Structure 1
Amino acid sequence: MKELLLLGLLLDGKKHGYQLNESYKHSFSMYADLKRSTAYYTLNKLEKDGYVIHENEREGNRPERRVYELTENGQAHFFYLLRWNLSDYSRTYYDDDVGIAFMNELSKQEVNNLLSEKQKKTQAALKLYQDHLEIVTDGSWQYVIEHNIVHLEAEVNWLAKVQADLVKTS
């Protein structure tokens, strides 16, 4: 949903690449993955499709930069993508499942130690989101954070179950 993200960042007006990146880092980096190169590739595609236009701008002796702006079609496309995103189911793939699939190649003790390490990191991430929730007042952002908390809590509980199963079968 990189298109939705970039179009959404342009809803409130023109932005150059650095401003888009800062808006992303400030508001979305905990919730969406968007590499700078992917952002520029997507912006070029959005421009080719008529959803975004750009103009070159120069301030003083600084290098020329592109300033992006949402077109009327771009705004309509944003709302189309938003409605689609809110109504559609998107399968989540967990990269960690690849390691779990092959964990039998290691000793149960080593797997348990590694999962303990993962458990600590997951709990730290959970705490970060819980702390963030305490300072967020916007309803939609609260839901985004709560959604992440629910998934992290499930992950913590599932890891504890796997570790308990490993101990039982040792």
Structure 2
Amino acid sequence: MGLEAVLEEIREKGRKEADAIRAESKMDSDRILAEADQKVAGIKAEAEEASTKQAARVTAQEISAANLLVKREILNTQKGLLDEVYEGTIAEIAKLPESFHREAIKKLLTEAKKEIPKGKIHCNARDEAAAKAVLAEKEFSGFILGEPAHIDGGILIEGEGGELQIDYSYRTFMNKVWESGLKDASDILFG
């Protein structure tokens, strides 16, 4: 029985060592799994943070792009309205009576005469009669009527020999007024 007891003792010691090794292995594996879980949680948190930041960045870019698109549409609409007002103004001026155009031609020619004392004037076909009436006046005897010009109204003055030309068309004056008053008009119309 002595041998049996020794064998039993060795077996018992082996079981205890095996249990201790299993317990230690279990602790090691639990520790490794816990560390892995922590790493996974950290990676997951970093990925979530990165994706949240990326989503916020993309959202901000999309919002900016949408705002720019809206602003562009608003500006295009405003420009369209201002262009309509501009063209409407030119059209309304063209509808004014012949007496208005005759008086305008006279004033424009008086102003042009300061720079070009003699020459040729051009006006649109509608205003030829008014221009002839103005040119019949003695103070404008140095001017002759040239071919009709493709202008909305007003006159184009050409000095003798064609060296000097002045554009006193309505559109030229309208452009000057328009450019200087565009901001004011825009503020009034669109706030």
> What's the TM-score bracket when you normalise by the shorter of the two chains?
under 0.3
TM-score in terms of structure 2 length: 0.21
Greater relative CO, 1 or 2 (CA 8 Å, sep 6+): 1
